[in-house]
Chain A
Amino acid sequence: MKLSVDGISVRFGAVLALSGIDLDFPPGEVAVLAGPNGAGKSTLMAVVLGLVEPDTGRLLVDGEDLVAAGARAHRRFRERIGYLPEAVAFAENLSGLEVMRFFARARGVGKARVHEVLEKVGLKEAARRAVRGYSRGMRQRLGLGIAILHEPELLILDEPTGGLDQQGLSTLWAVLDEWRSAGRRVLLSTHDLALIERRADRVHVISAGRLKASGTPDDLRRLAGLTIRVRVAMDDMKHAETLAGSLSQDLAVPVDLGEDEIGLSIPSSSVFAVIRAMDSAGVAGVRVEEPGLDAVYERLLEAP
Chain B
Amino acid sequence: MTSRVARALVIHELLERVRDRWVMVITGLFVLLASGIGMYGRAAEESAAAVAAPSLVTLAAFLVPLVALVLGHDAIVGERERHTLGLLMSLPVGRGEVLLAKFLGRAMALAIAIVLGMGSAALLVEAGQRAVLLSLIGPTMLLGGAFLSIGMLVSTVAKRHATAASLAVSVWFLLVFFYDLGLLGLLVATDGAVSQDVIAGLVQINPAGLYRTGLLVQLSGATALEEMGLAVALPSTAVKAALWSAWLAGPLVIGGLLLGRRRAVTA
Contact = CB atoms under 8 A, between A and B. Distances in A.
Given A12-B264, A93-B20, A106 B9 contact: yes
A78 B87 contact: no
B116 to A, nearest CB: 19
A304 B118 CA distance: 70
B235 interface: no
Interface residues of B, number: 30
Interface of B: 4-5, 7-9, 11-12, 15-16, 19-21, 82-84, 86-87, 89-95, 260, 263-267
A98 to B, nearest CB: 7
A91 interface: yes
Contact of B4 (A51, A71, A87, A106): A106
Interface of A: 12, 46, 49, 51-53, 71-72, 75-76, 78-79, 81, 83, 85-91, 93-94, 98, 102-103, 105-108, 143, 146, 156
Given A89-B83, A106-B8, A81 B90 contact: yes
A46 B266 CA distance: 9
B8 A102 contact: yes
B124 to A, nearest CB: 31
A51 B90 contact: yes
Contact of A93 (B7, B16, B263): B16
Which of A49, A91, A107 is the most central at the interface, judged by chain B CB atoms within 10 Å of its CB?
A91
10 closest pairs, A vs B, by CB? A105-B8, A83-B90, A106-B8, A93-B19, A78-B92, A102-B12, A106-B5, A85-B86, A52-B264, A79-B92
Contact of B263 (A53, A83, A108): A53
B20 to A, nearest CB: 7
A71 B91 contact: no
A296 to B, nearest CB: 30
B16 A94 contact: yes
Contacts of B93: 75, 106
A71 B90 contact: no
Contacts of B8: 102-103, 105-106
Contacts of A86: 83
